[in-house]
């Protein structure tokens, strides 16, 4: 039986060129990794704090359920959406959640293709987070369509009495395909990556029900070399497919805005700028979740400071890409010489919603600059604060884009102001309940860290790694 | 299990080994003759504008083509340090050398810059008033107006697009690129002697702020050099488009140069199939990225259908000649290479990869031609391609570029000799 | 132990345990060199370098995925072509509908969905193809019965040489494995007595399939039948509402008569009723009519106008506009601003802002009657493509003349419209209308004259227009 070393933060962030800093600390061997990851799952009862958070999350989920029910009974008028702000908070929330849902697949796919070994400790949780974020994201446009019970009209299903098909020239329909494809492929990717680890659970499980459940979920996995061979190829192919997919999702979300003619929406840089923003917010969400999770489950030896520091660097880099895009937009608005464009951007910064704009700039561009300081990006509690600000900023970015442009379109007589209703606010808060509930259940019942992948990057024998 | 190679250079020859002394006069000769021939032949070219204009345009195409290669290589160097990459150490020196070439290219830019300063509008129409007009007659009317009576758009953009400010910016770009290229090359060369790890750390530490500087320069230089050729047109995506092509061509140039050097018995041991495979993968990735950016930019403008933007594409798609050129670009720059280098076998075959690389470089040239040349006769919609003018200029410019490379490379080592991550690169294997 | 089980079980292979990946690889290499082919290694993670050691050929999976993706590309494009452009099909025809100025089959707009379909199909091909080629899921594997093998998903490494290999020899193979460094060796046996599914599992399975088939069978049965009962409404979808729709006949009572004798479902408000917040008794503020003006003492037109402002009029008393205008008594209109408004700079600026929003489209920013709508309509009118009465210039002598066009009358014009101009009372609150009046007066005071060429042309057109109308509204024109 391998001993599990006490979990404390060891500074492995300094990497002398020519050597590679270890990614698994505490002298863990293969069995040690298994023990560390399985320990919280094998514990009789989850920690008290888990129950407390679950209770809070479930009550928020209840709030969400109540709001959705109220909405379905009364209609979309319960939201603050008005004329001309036809897209209010629901769409802001949708883009916000979809954006968060980008980090997981990015870590699993793009970092995998770039052979960034440090991804192995965090990819599982990040992928799970992705899927739960996409669930939250899918909720909002789902209920935004008004008559939810005919949602299947969104898909090309032949119907006799309707004699109609979806309009494939509409970016909103592209969104349906992009988000549903993304959710499906993310689940496939997540599940496929989890099968070897579920097999570990199967082989360690004590309860009868657990044995059957994990036995079925692990599909009879044995770890055969022939299976691993095809498995690795499949993993690479899925990563290669997921990489353009993850770019395409937020690109298509940006098309929803950018194919229009509305000043502030129609600008060609939207696709890469939205993707950068999505990665930015997604990584911030991963850090926000993993820092408490590793403390709670004693995973400091696997999710090390180096992992966190790397993520913070990516947050800083993508934050600056987003900042650059803000700058380019402003410059081109001036350079274009189109008065509507110029007004749209001046209005963003100094119009009715100036406060939202400056919250966005502060949180997205100014605050991440703290990560230039090593202390800031290697101190867990501090980085969580920064990352929460980043997520606030990214929510406001979507708010600024959606609302300011809609409320100030071409005809001054149709200008208006947007006020959210209580339902709007409760739904946003409630969606966090849904997200947290799902994540807590994941932490309890599924392998939080990809054990097999972590083991594959550990040094062994006389290997040169 | 493969054996671990010691972190030592084993090739017999790791420099150009005086090859550049022979090559440089020849290359410069070809270059000067090519450019002269192109200039003379452009006098007989009937497609719109004067000989100066015709030549300046094709010169700018080829200039931007080689400049983008250098900028792509510069990005390769910066991103390598930023990510502490180990696998690519053995090809990083080539990138450093090509990046350094960006500074001497500044001298070649004088051919464009001096006429701008003298007030000619050979290439940049904003240098003479009347550019916002839609016909020559209208342009002449505007040109006759007082400064205060000019169309507001010309007055507005004049604050940015004027010869003085343009020149200051251009000089600043080349100075910044020169300083950045020199920093990385000098530091890396210093490490060849000392093997000091602190030098790597210094380059890593500076790579993040330098990347920001690089981003700013590439954004505004792409606006200035290429987008302002059509001063009425604007697209926020343009710098990303420029960058995508630049990085792709940089990767290909590194690959091709390495292959060519190895074929001539230099750095034979250090660069392996594994490195080519990975360079090929990155190239593939950026072929797709280029397609993604190009498509997104086109789709947004096509879909919104706003006349202020669509005229730029309308010209390139709906006029004789340019329509086919656009089709060649889409098929040649995206679909063919996508299918060609998608497979693992294709990327591990040197001959095939070299062929694909040359093809992609040609397509990259086609891309810059497509961006720049249609602006030559904005009223007449003339298809300008004339191999007699265009090819000598391209050959000449590329010859000069290689001569610059030889001049920069001298007898300097073509791989970092004592990089602390050399061992990692030598033992690099694609699992 | 082996003897006892010989009848009930079959030897599948010999399983050797190793403690680290490197010894597993070297053992695999030895086994391959010894001529074994039917063997497999088991490890908790993919061990690099094991493929050549066991002699695994590169999988065909990438090629399979490529083929699926390539097919999906055309399937995706085909689907979009069919659904949006092909309306020739006899069953489930495409819905060819022109929208947002895009062609029915718009290639650029179809790329995103095509891309998503390629990725989705390829991902499923990868996922299912991988499991299929791996012959998984397979839940009955003799390896799972070996307790030692549970460590294969944790920290131990195994090599199994199967009995079906032609070089397999129970004792010789075992000694070879020992020689290659196996830590432990165990027999892997397949249980022959227990290879049937328990009968209750089959029963439950069959029952499940049967129950699942019921709904589609019922739906299909009902689809081919006619029925007298009304359609099943799972969600009412506002199909039934307790109201009558506009412009329909009155509901019919049980005795067959209409509920409302005029046979209309739409009702008028009770005479004299006024909607909440719209009492507007202050005639100066809301109608621009002097408080002490006696309606009854004056013309029918004024009477009608006043009555109609507060009470729905009788159908039988239409007022002919021409007569009314001829009979107009200018003295009824306010010549001052009402008491409720204070005319100061802010008020006029408010008026300017409102004027620019609501009025300038036709009347122009300078009030010359030359707004963009007017220009365009005049241009169309000149080609005979539209009928258009030119917008009034604020600087027109009659418009400017306080005696003919006092403040109250301008207010009334904004509120109720005049001639071809529509009413703006519903859009603009009364205070703002007065602000516009103030701004209009200010505009007139600036003295900008309709001197530009275009305005003169407009004037000429206006004349022509009037002539065409037969000159009957000569009076109206000056109003």
Write the DSSP assignment of A293-345 as a string of letters.
HHHHHT-TTTS-HHHHHHHHHHHHHHHHHHHHHHHHHHHHHHHH--HHHHHHH
SS3 content of chain A, % helix, strand, coil (to 5): 70, 0, 30
Tell me the H-state helices in B264-386.
273-304, 307-318, 322-330, 336-340, 344-348, 350-372
Nearest-CA neighbor of A63 among A360, A457, A436? Answer: A436
All residues of chain C having their beta carbon less than 8 Å from the beta carbon of residue B295 are: 108, 111
Residue C237 CB neighbour total at 10 angstroms: 10
Q: How far is residue B337 CA from its own chain's centroid?
A: 19
Helix (H, G, I), strand (E, B) or coil at B383: coil
Residue C25: pLDDT above 80? yes
Distances in whole angstroms, Cα of residue C224 to Cα of each of B299, B364, C218: 46, 62, 10
The owner of tokens 């006899």 is: C90
Show Cβ contacts of residue C230 under 8 Å, excluding neighbours closer than 6 positions.
none
Name the residue ranges covered by the structural domains of chain B: 19-124+161-426
Q: A329 at the B interface (CB within 8 A)? A: yes
CA distance C471 to C473: 5
CA-nearest residue of chain C to A196? C153
Q: What are phi and psi of C138, to 5 degrees?
A: -140, 110
- From the list C49, C102, C108, the residue facing B1 with the nearest CB is C49
- Count the alpha carbons within 13 Å of A433 in the hemisphere toward its beta carbon: 20
User: Hey, are the CB atoms on A156 and C83 less than 8 Å from each other?
Assistant: yes
pLDDT value for B224: 95
CA-nearest residue of chain A to B302? A259
Helix (H, G, I), strand (E, B) or coil at A198: helix
Chain A contact partners (≥3 CB pairs within 8 A): B, C
The tens place of each residue's pLDDT in chain B, 431 residues long, gives 456 788 888 888 888 888 888 899 999 999 999 999 999 988 887 655 678 888 999 999 999 999 999 999 999 999 999 988 888 899 999 999 999 999 999 999 999 999 999 988 889 999 988 888 888 888 888 888 888 888 888 989 999 999 999 999 999 999 999 999 999 999 999 999 988 899 999 999 999 999 999 999 999 999 999 999 999 999 999 999 999 999 999 999 999 999 999 999 898 888 999 999 999 999 999 999 999 999 999 999 999 999 989 999 999 999 889 999 999 999 999 999 999 999 888 999 999 999 999 999 999 999 999 999 998 877 777 888 888 999 999 999 999 999 999 999 988 999 999 899 998 888 887 65
Share of chain A above pLDDT 70, in %: 97
Q: How far is residue C369 CA from its own chain's centroid?
A: 40
- Count the alpha carbons within 13 Å of A122 in the hemisphere toward its beta carbon: 36
Nearest-CA neighbor of B173 among B130, B260, B109? Answer: B109
Q: Rounded to a whole number, what is the distance in Å from the CA of A92 to chain C's nearest CA?
A: 22
Helix (H, G, I), strand (E, B) or coil at B156: helix
All residues of chain B having their beta carbon less than 8 Å from the beta carbon of residue A228 are: none
Q: C46 at the A interface (CB within 8 A)? A: yes
pLDDT value for C370: 87
- Count the alpha carbons within 13 Å of A16 in the hemisphere toward its beta carbon: 4
Cβ atoms of C83 and C75 closer than 8 Å:
no
All residues of chain B having their beta carbon less than 8 Å from the beta carbon of residue A247 are: 292
Residue A217: band (very low, low, confident or very high) from pLDDT cuts 50, 70, 90? very high
User: Across residues A370-390, what is the average pLDDT?
Assistant: 95
Cβ atoms of B70 and B99 closer than 8 Å:
yes
CA-nearest residue of chain C to A179? C116
Chain C contact partners (≥3 CB pairs within 8 A): A, B
User: Hey, are the CB atoms on C49 and B303 less than 8 Å from each other?
Assistant: no
State the average pLDDT for chain A. Answer: 90
All residues of chain B having their beta carbon less than 8 Å from the beta carbon of residue A17 are: 84, 197, 200-201, 204, 419-421
Q: Please report the domains of chain C, with CATH numbers, ordered by start residue.
A: 1-195 (no CATH), 283-332 (no CATH), 345-459 (1.10.760.10)
Residues 305-364 of C with CB under 8 A from A: 356-358
User: Hey, are the CB atoms on C111 and B295 less than 8 Å from each other?
Assistant: yes
CA-nearest residue of chain B to A247? B292
All residues of chain B having their beta carbon less than 8 Å from the beta carbon of residue A20 are: 86, 424
pLDDT value for A159: 76
Cβ atoms of C77 and C114 closer than 8 Å:
yes
CA-nearest residue of chain A to B235? A268
Helix (H, G, I), strand (E, B) or coil at C184: strand
- From the list C20, C110, C152, the residue facing A461 with the nearest CB is C20
Cβ atoms of A329 and A357 closer than 8 Å:
no
- From the list A241, A252, A412, the residue facing C123 with the nearest CB is A241
Residue C479: pLDDT above 60? no
- From the list C42, C84, C155, the residue facing A222 with the nearest CB is C42
Burial class (CB in 10 A: 0-12, 13-18, 19+), A242: buried
**pTM: predicted TM-score of the whole model, two decimal places:** 0.84
CA-nearest residue of chain C to A239? C123
Cβ atoms of C173 and C128 closer than 8 Å:
no
User: Hey, are the CB atoms on B237 and A244 less than 8 Å from each other?
Assistant: no
Query: How long is chain C?
Result: 479
All residues of chain B having their beta carbon less than 8 Å from the beta carbon of residue A268 are: 235-238, 296-297, 300-301
Q: A272 at the B interface (CB within 8 A)? A: yes
User: Across residues C90-95, what is the average pLDDT?
Assistant: 85
Q: Rounded to a whole number, what is the distance in Å from the CA of C149 to chain A's nearest CA?
A: 9
Q: A339 at the B interface (CB within 8 A)? A: no
Mutation choice for A interface testing from C86, C125, C154 by most A CBs within 10 A: C154
Show Cβ contacts of residue C345 under 8 Å, excluding neighbours closer than 6 positions.
none
Q: Rounded to a whole number, what is the distance in Å from the CA of C54 to chain B's nearest CA?
A: 13
Dmax over CA atoms of chain A, in Å, equals 76
Q: Rounded to a whole number, what is the distance in Å from the CA of B57 to chain A's nearest CA?
A: 24
Cβ atoms of B218 and B243 closer than 8 Å:
yes
Residue C455: pLDDT above 70? no
Q: Rounded to a whole number, what is the distance in Å from the CA of A61 to chain C's nearest CA?
A: 25
- From the list C62, C101, C111, the residue facing B305 with the nearest CB is C101
Q: What ipTM is given for this predicted complex?
A: 0.93
CA distance C13 to C36: 12
Q: Rounded to a whole number, what is the distance in Å from the CA of B181 to chain C's nearest CA?
A: 39
DSSP strand pairing (C184-191 vs C9-18): antiparallel
User: Hey, are the CB atoms on C49 and B305 less than 8 Å from each other?
Assistant: no
pLDDT value for B3: 64
A332-379: per-residue pLDDT in tens?
Answer: 999 999 999 999 999 999 998 999 999 999 999 999 999 999 999 999
Give the full edge-to-edge strand order of the sheet including C9-18: C39-42, C157-162, C9-18, C184-191
Query: How long is chain B?
Result: 431
CA distance B184 to B95: 10
- From the list A17, A324, A334, the residue facing B215 with the nearest CB is A324
Show Cβ contacts of residue B238 under 8 Å, excluding neighbours closer than 6 positions.
A268, B222, B223, B226, B227, B297
- From the list C22, C49, C108, the residue facing B302 with the nearest CB is C108
Measure the N-to-C terminal CA separation of chain B; round to a whole number of Å. 11
Which residues are registered as beta bridge partners of C14?
C161, C187
Nearest-CA neighbor of A291 among A19, A5, A9, A61? Answer: A9
Residue C327: pLDDT above 80? no
A156-167: per-residue pLDDT in tens?
Answer: 988 767 778 899
Nearest-CA neighbor of A38 among A202, A207, A187? Answer: A202
All residues of chain A having their beta carbon less than 8 Å from the beta carbon of residue B152 are: 337
Residue C1: pLDDT above 60? no
Helix-helix angle A380-399:A89-100, to 10 degrees: 140
Nearest-CA neighbor of B85 among A13, A17, A310, A103? Answer: A17
Which residues are registered as beta bridge partners of C438?
none
Cβ atoms of A132 and A183 closer than 8 Å:
no
State the average pLDDT for chain C. Answer: 82
pLDDT value for C194: 67
All residues of chain C having their beta carbon less than 8 Å from the beta carbon of residue A219 are: 131, 136-139
């Amino acid at each position: 039986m391998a001993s599990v070393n006490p979990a404390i933060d060891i500074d492995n962030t300094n990497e002398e060129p020519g050597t590679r800093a270890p990614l698994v600390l505490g002298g863990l061997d293969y069995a040690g990794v298994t023990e560390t990851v399985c320990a919280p799952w094998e514990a009789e009862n989850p920690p008290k704090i888990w129950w407390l958070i679950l209770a809070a999350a479930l009550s928020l989920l209840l709030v969400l359920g109540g709001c959705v029910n109220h909405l379905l009974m009364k209609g979309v008028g319960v939201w603050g959406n008005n004329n001309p702000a036809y897209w209010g908070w629901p769409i802001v929330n949708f883009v916000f959640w979809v954006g968060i849902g980008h980090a997981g697949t990015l870590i699993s796919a793009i970092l995998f293709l770039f052979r960034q070994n440090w991804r192995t400790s965090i990819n599982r949780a990040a992928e799970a987070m992705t899927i739960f974020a996409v669930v939250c994201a899918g909720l909002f446009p789902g209920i935004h369509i008004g008559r939810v019970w005919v949602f299947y009209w969104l898909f090309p299903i032949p119907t006799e009495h309707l004699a109609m098909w979806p309009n494939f020239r509409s970016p909103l329909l592209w969104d349906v395909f992009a988000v549903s494809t993304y959710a499906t492929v993310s689940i496939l990717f997540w599940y496929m990556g989890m099968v070897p680890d579920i097999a570990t659970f199967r082989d360690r499980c004590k309860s009868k029900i657990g044995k059957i459940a994990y036995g079925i979920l692990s599909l009879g996995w044995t770890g055969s070399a022939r299976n691993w061979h095809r498995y690795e190829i499949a993993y690479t192919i899925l990563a290669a497919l997921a990489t353009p997919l993850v770019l395409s999702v937020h690109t298509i979300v940006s098309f929803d805005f950018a194919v229009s003619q509305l000043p502030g929406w129609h600008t060609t840089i939207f696709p890469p700028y939205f993707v950068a923003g999505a990665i930015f917010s997604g990584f911030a969400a991963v850090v926000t979740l993993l820092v408490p999770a590793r403390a709670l489950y004693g995973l400091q030896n696997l999710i090390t400071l180096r992992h966190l520091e790397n993520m913070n660097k990516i947050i800083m880099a993508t934050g600056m890409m987003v900042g650059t895009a803000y700058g380019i937009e402003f410059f081109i608005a001036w350079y274009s010489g189109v008065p509507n464009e110029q007004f749209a951007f001046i209005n963003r910064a100094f119009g009715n919603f100036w406060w939202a704009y400056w919250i966005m700039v502060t949180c997205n561009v100014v605050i991440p600059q703290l990560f230039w300081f090593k202390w800031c990006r290697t101190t867990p509690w501090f980085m969580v604060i920064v990352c929460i600000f980043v997520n606030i900023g990214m929510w406001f970015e979507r708010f600024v884009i959606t609302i300011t442009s809609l409320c100030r379109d071409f005809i001054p007589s149709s200008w208006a102001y947007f006020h959210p209703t209580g339902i709007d606010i409760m739904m946003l808060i409630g969606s966090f309940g849904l997200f947290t509930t799902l994540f807590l259940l994941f932490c309890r019942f599924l392998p939080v860290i990809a054990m097999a992948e972590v083991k594959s990057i550990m040094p062994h024998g006389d290997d040169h790694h | 299990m493969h054996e671990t190679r010691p972190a030592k250079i084993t090739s017999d020859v790791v420099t150009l080994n005086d090859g550049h002394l022979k090559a440089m006069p020849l290359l410069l000769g070809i270059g000067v003759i090519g450019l002269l021939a192109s200039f003379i032949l452009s006098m007989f070219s009937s497609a719109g504008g004067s000989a100066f204009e015709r030549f300046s345009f094709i010169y700018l195409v080829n200039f931007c083509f080689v400049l983008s290669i250098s900028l792509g290589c510069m990005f390769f160097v910066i991103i390598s340090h930023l990510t502490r990459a180990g696998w690519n150490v053995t090809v990083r020196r080539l990138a450093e050398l090509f990046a350094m070439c960006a500074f001497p290219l500044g001298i070649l830019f004088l051919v464009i810059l001096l006429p701008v300063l003298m007030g000619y509008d050979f290439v940049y129409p904003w240098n003479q008033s009347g550019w916002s007009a839609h016909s020559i007659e209208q342009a002449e009317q505007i040109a006759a107006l007082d400064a205060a009576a000019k169309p507001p758009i010309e007055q507005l953009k004049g604050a940015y697009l004027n010869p003085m400010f343009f020149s200051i910016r251009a000089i600043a770009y080349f100075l910044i690129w020169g300083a950045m290229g020199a920093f990385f090359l000098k530091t890396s060369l210093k490490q060849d002697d000392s093997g000091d790890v602190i030098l790597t750390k210094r380059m890593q530490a500076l790579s993040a702020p330098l990347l920001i500087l690089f981003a700013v320069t590439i954004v505004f230089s792409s606006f200035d050099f290429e987008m302002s050729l059509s001063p009425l047109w604007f697209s926020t995506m343009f710098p990303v488009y420029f960058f995508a092509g630049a990085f792709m061509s940089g990767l290909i140039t590194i690959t091709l140069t390495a292959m060519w050097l190895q074929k001539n018995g230099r750095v034979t041991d250090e660069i392996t199939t594994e490195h080519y495979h990975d360079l090929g993968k990155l190239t593939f990735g950026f072929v797709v990225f280029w397609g993604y950016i190009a498509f997104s930019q086109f789709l947004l403008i096509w879909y919104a259908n706003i006349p202020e933007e669509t005229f730029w594409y309308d010209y390139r798609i709906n006029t004789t000649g340019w329509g086919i050129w656009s089709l060649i670009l889409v098929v040649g720059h995206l679909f063919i290479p996508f299918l060609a280098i998608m497979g693992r076998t294709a990327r591990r075959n040197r001959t095939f990869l070299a062929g694909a690389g040359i093809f992609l470089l040609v397509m990259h040239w086609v891309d810059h031609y497509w961006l720049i040349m249609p602006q030559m006769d904005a009223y007449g919609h003339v298809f300008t391609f004339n191999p007699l003018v265009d090819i000598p200029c391209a050959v000449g410019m590329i010859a000069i570029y290689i001569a610059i490379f030889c001049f920069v490379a001298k007898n300097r080592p073509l791989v970092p000799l004592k990089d602390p991550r050399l061992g990692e690169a030598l033992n690099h294997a694609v699992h | 132990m082996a003897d006892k089980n010989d009848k009930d079980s079959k030897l599948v292979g010999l399983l050797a345990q190793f403690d680290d990946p490197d010894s597993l690889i070297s053992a695999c290499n030895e086994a391959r060199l010894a001529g074994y082919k039917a063997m497999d290694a088991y490890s908790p993670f993919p061990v690099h370098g094991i493929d050549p050691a066991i002699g695994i050929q590169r999988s065909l999976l990438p090629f399979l995925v490529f083929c699926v993706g390539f097919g999906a590309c055309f399937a995706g494009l085909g689907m979009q072509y069919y659904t949006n452009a092909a309306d020739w099909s006899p069953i489930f025809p495409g819905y060819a509908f022109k929208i947002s100025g895009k062609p029915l089959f718009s290639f650029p707009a179809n790329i995103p969905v095509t891309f998503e379909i390629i990725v989705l199909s390829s991902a499923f091909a990868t996922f299912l193809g991988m499991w299929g080629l791996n012959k998984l899921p397979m839940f009955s594997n003799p390896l799972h019965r070996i307790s030692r093998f549970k460590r294969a998903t944790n920290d131990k490494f195994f090599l199994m040489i199967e009995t079906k290999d032609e070089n397999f020899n129970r004792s010789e193979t075992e000694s070879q494995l020992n020689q290659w460094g196996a830590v432990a060796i165990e027999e892997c046996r397949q249980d022959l007595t227990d290879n049937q599914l328990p009968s209750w599992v089959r029963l439950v399975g069959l029952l499940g399939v049967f129950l699942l088939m019921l709904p589609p069978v019922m739906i299909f049965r009902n689809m081919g039948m006619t029925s007298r009962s009304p359609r099943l409404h799972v969600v009412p979808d506002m199909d039934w509402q307790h109201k009558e729709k506009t412009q329909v006949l009155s509901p019919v009572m049980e005795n067959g008569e209409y509920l409302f004798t005029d046979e209309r479902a739409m009702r008028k408000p009770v005479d004299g009723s006024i909607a909440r917040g719209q009492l507007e008794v202050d005639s100066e503020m809301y109608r621009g009519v002097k408080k002490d003006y006696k309606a009854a003492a004056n013309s029918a037109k004024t009477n009608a106008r006043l009555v109609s402002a507060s009470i729905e009029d009788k159908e039988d008393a239409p007022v002919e506009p021409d007569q009314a205008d001829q009979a107009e008594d200018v003295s009824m209109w306010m010549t001052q601003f009402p008491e409720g408004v204070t005319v100061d700079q802010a008020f006029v600026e408010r008026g300017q802002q409102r004027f620019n929003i609501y009025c300038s489209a036709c009347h122009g920013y300078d009030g010359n009657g030359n707004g963009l709508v007017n220009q365009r309509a005049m241009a169309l009118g000149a080609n005979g493509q539209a009928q258009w009465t030119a917008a009034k210039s604020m600087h027109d002598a009659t418009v400017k003349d306080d005696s003919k066009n006092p403040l109250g009358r301008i207010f009334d014009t904004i509120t109720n419209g005049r001639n071809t101009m529509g009413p703006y009372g519903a859009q603009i609150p009364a205070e703002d209308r007065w602000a516009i009046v103030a701004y209009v007066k200010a505009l007139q005071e600036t003295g900008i004259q309709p001197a530009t060429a275009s305005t003169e042309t407009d004037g000429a057109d206006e004349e022509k227009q009037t002539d065409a109308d037969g000159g009957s509204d000569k009076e109206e024109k000056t109003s």
